[in-house]
Structure 1
């Protein structure tokens, strides 16, 4: 029996049930794999947490690597949404506020950083997976560049192309997160030094307003003779 041709211009969408299954697998995986790490989590662990069979898993993801990349895509989108709300919100945002939004994470996100570092090392030993992670990085870079152009008109008049600015900010973020993944005074000192340095650089890039120079104090009037 032949199937009807696809209607031109109409998108082919996965069935709603499959979309729900994929979303549930991602939500469960986020809890399990972020807590236990990439290497310690098995496909069976992910299926058990979501309440699905291996068949359901493999109908949505090619493997554990594919699922982790999907988690990274979703997490990056959430972080960009947070940054957009900060940049596009009411009132002026300080350079330090932007720097902290880029570099600082709370305790709940610390395991995310450990997972990302673990997965990046894993991908460095696998050329095919490394290429997929590079594609993820380019997508995030382009999304950040588009966000900066939309929310920070001054970035177009900055000292560097916006794509290069976005790539550099992401590289700085990743380096600082790696340095501060552990807790301790050294990690805090490194973070504060990076925030201070980036706060001074961001206005030059057109991303945050240049702090206003303090007005000179007026001289006291001379007493009348």
Structure 2
């Protein structure tokens, strides 16, 4: 039993190292440019070790994408913990959440490059493209659920479609992340802590204002 546990931990460590190497290489050379051999070289493993964990480079790409988005969702969940905005009014709660999220997830050039690679594959319908699109849809659903949960907690409801609000928020965040990565600077705090929360609040109303049915 102990041996099995130790073997499992070694296997997981190998898998994570291969994913780390893949993240580094794919961000620098793109999906097409990165080879299994080079990933193994960076990770310090043989091709045999690679193929005992992944059936192909495309499987590693999907696993990497799943890991990146799982980390993003985990950071978002930490940011929206009620303790983040406990005791704050509505106008202060959303900026507090955004500030916490920015602390947990500062601009990451490699993540942005990876996401761009994944997105192109999804648009082109290349190998793994459908998987990417399904994973992206799953991420969007999780983000929308978080937005809804926070608004419910604050006693607010949207006056526009939830998916439309999510698209606006994610689109603004993505555009600013791109600008920050290109310019090599932090993300614009005024945009993220004032403009974006104000934009969301402008599309909400207190739940108690709902007219009687």
TM-score band, normalised by shorter chain: 0.5 to 0.7
How far apart are the structure 1 equivalents of 2:45 and 2:155? Answer: 47
Give distance in 1, aligned partners of 2:155 and 2:26. 37
1:1-225 equivalences in 2 (<5 Å): 16=8, 18-35=11-28, 37-88=30-81, 89-90=83-84, 91=86, 92=88, 94-99=93-98, 106=106, 109-153=108-152, 154=154, 157-183=157-183, 192-193=190-191, 196-205=194-203
Q: Distance in 2 between matches of 1:60 and 1:106?
A: 30
Which range is displaced more, 128-137 or 15-24? 15-24
Instruction: Quote the offset at 1:30 in angstroms.
Output: 3.0
In 2: Cα distance, 1:155 partner to 1:206 partner: 10
Cα 1:69–1:53 change in 2 (3 A) is same
| Change over 3 Å in CA distance of 1:33–1:184 after alignment to 2 | closer
Q: Deviations over 1:161-214 (max 9, x none)?
A: 4344334433332333234431179x977x75566431211224559xxxxxxx
Shift of 1:95: 3.0
Q: Distance in 2 between matches of 1:163 and 1:82?
A: 21
Cα–Cα, structure 1 residues 42 and 83, in superposed 2: closer, same or farther, change >3 Å? same
- Give structure 2 stretches of 5+ with no counterpart: 1-6, 206-213
Note if contact 2:158-2:203 (Cα within 8 Å) is conserved in structure 1.
Answer: yes
Task: Give TM-score scaled by structure 2 length.
Answer: 0.67
Query: 1-side partners of 2:163 and 2:130: how far apart?
Result: 20
TM-score by length of structure 1 reads: 0.64
Shift in Å at residue 155 of structure 1? 7.7
Give the distance between the partners of 1:150 and 1:101, measured in 2 at CA.
17
Name the Cα RMSD after superposition: 3.6
Residues 167 and 54 of structure 1, relative CA distance in 2, 3 Å threshold: farther
- How many residues are aligned here? 190
> Rg bigger for which structure?
1
For structure 1, the residue ranges without an aligned partner over 5 or more in a row are 1-14, 208-225
